[in-house]
Amino acid sequence: MIRVLIVEDSVTQREIFRRLLENDPELTVVAEARDGREAITQTAAYQPDVVLMDIHMPDMDGITATAEIMRICPTPIVVASATLKKRDVDLAMKAYEAGAVSVIEKPEGAVLLHLQTIGPKLRRELIAAAVARVRENKTRTPAKKPYPRAIAPQRISAIGLVASTGGPPVLLEILSALPAPFPIPILLVQHISHGFEDGFARWLSNTSGHQVKVAEYGQLLGPGVWVAPGGRHLSLRNPTRMQLVPGDPGEIHCPSGDALFYSLAEILGPRAAGVLLTGMGGDGAAGLLALKQAGGLTIIQDEESSLIWGMPKTAQQLGAASLELPPEGIAEILAKLSMV
């Protein structure tokens, strides 16, 4: 049973969250807090498996509370954003910097009429977060060791990056370590709640030093980091243009890492590289194998640095990885690719 602490100043909103979770056989609400200070106290007292955290609260906001919890008693935290307005989305992105595992849009009062639709989304986020290997919120010291000289035999035309739970901080670490401007187009699939894509791209652009934008259909494949929009698979139409393909009803992941890697394998083959980062499940693993079989360079994040070693582990088990590296090692290899 996954034990959840709800942190929310609104009585109505706490009731909504409680109603969403109370009938789930895998989730139970162990305590509730009305503000950030109570959240810190309750986290220490109850030691929940995951905290569902509001942002706007009196006395202490959710961002400050998240940072304090990660400093005092590291616990997986899912932050709920009140709206998808720019200000709230930008605050939600700051939650990643504070140590949050993921962000979701907060369900409003009318959601009580649609519990069966909204509930599974919240459930997936909480279950994924609960298995995350969170650490104290401080800069990880990179291992001082040389990384393999895995330089492709010819120039790489595109790099695919795929991440899920725990991905944003790792992506920031990798991109920040790359030379700017970076000449190779980077196509990015990040599993994130629908509606946060623009804010995520804006945050990553402002903090990494690279141009990061949401991809558009038919766009030329040029330098920059191109983020897959929600509800569309990011892929290549041909060697010079991107395309966005609608997902099928019932697909768990749209955008999907598999769709991106399969496309890179088919269109570019040995002129593509694929990187599969932290995340729960197996999205991207089969596609990464296809890319490797097509002659592309394939890299997975190592277990030690992964918040959730699910997607990389699946790829490893399939034999899809050419290299297994921490974020700084991945950045070093990608930087070398730009010099070929």
Residues forming beta bridges with residue 186, ordered by sequence position = 159, 225
Query: Both 113 and 232 in a single domain?
Result: no
| pLDDT per residue as tens digits for the range 97-134 | 999 999 988 766 544 544 555 677 888 899 999 989 88
Query: Do 74 and 126 lie in a common domain?
Result: yes
The whole-number pLDDT of residue 110 equals 47
Phi-psi map region of 328: left, alpha, beta (phi>0 left; psi -120 to 50 alpha): alpha
Task: Return the minimum-mean-pLDDT range out of 134-138, 168-172, 190-194.
Answer: 134-138
pLDDT for position 7: 97
pLDDT, residue 250, reads: 79
Q: Are residues 162 and 200 in the same domain?
A: yes
Q: What is the mean pLDDT of residues 172-189?
A: 97
Shared domain check, 231 and 123: no
- pLDDT of 136 reads 65
Residue 40 lies in a domain: yes
Which pLDDT score is estimated for 148?
65
Q: Which range of residues forms the domain containing residue 66?
A: 2-130
281 DSSP β-pair partners: none
Output the domain CATH number for residue 90: 3.40.50.2300
Reply yes or no on whether the pLDDT at 307 is more than 50. Answer: yes
CATH number reported for the structural domain that contains residue 227 in this entry: 3.40.50.180
Q: Are residues 308 and 164 in the same domain?
A: yes
Confidence of residue 201 (pLDDT cuts 50, 70, 90): very high
- Which residue among 130, 148, 179 closes a domain? 130
Considering only residues 122 and 67, tell me which one the structure prediction assigns the higher pLDDT: 67
The 3-state secondary structure of 275-312 reads EECCECCCCCHHHHHHHHHCCCEEEEECCCCCCCECHH
Among the ranges given (36-50, 240-254, 279-293), the one the predictor scored with the smallest mean pLDDT:
240-254
Which residues are annotated as catalytic?
164, 191, 283
- The string of pLDDT tens digits covering residues 123-167 is 889 999 998 988 765 555 555 566 665 555 578 999 999 999 999
Of 248-252, 309-313, 336-340, which range is least confident?
248-252
Residues 177, 336 contacting (CB under 8 angstroms): no
Count of domains observed in the chain: 2
Query: In this predicted model, what pLDDT tens digit does every residue of 208-238 receive, in sequence order?
Result: 999 999 999 999 999 999 999 999 999 999 9
pLDDT at 153: 55
pLDDT value at residue 120: 78
Task: Convert the pLDDT of each residue in 258-306 to its tens digit.
Answer: 999 999 999 999 999 999 999 999 999 999 999 999 999 999 999 999 9
The structure's pTM equals 0.90
Query: Are 71 and 13 within one domain?
Result: yes
Same domain for 304 and 184: yes
pLDDT for 89 equals: 81
- Considering the domain architecture, whether residues 188 and 320 belong to the same structural domain is answered as yes
Q: Which residues contact 149 (CB under 8 A, 6 or more apart)?
A: 336
Instruction: Give the chain's mean pLDDT.
Output: 90
Taking alpha carbons only, the member of 337, 29, 340 closest to residue 159 is 337
| Residue that terminates a domain, selected from 92, 111, 130 | 130
Q: What is the pLDDT of residue 93?
A: 87
Kindly state the percentage of the chain with pLDDT values over 90.
Answer: 74
Q: How far is CA 123 from CA 24, 56, 119, 127, in A?
A: 8, 22, 6, 6
Give yes or no: residues 173 and 288 share one domain: yes
Give domain status of residue 84, yes or no: yes
* Residue 331 sits in the same domain as residue 282: yes
Rounded Cα distance between 303 and 284, Å, is: 16
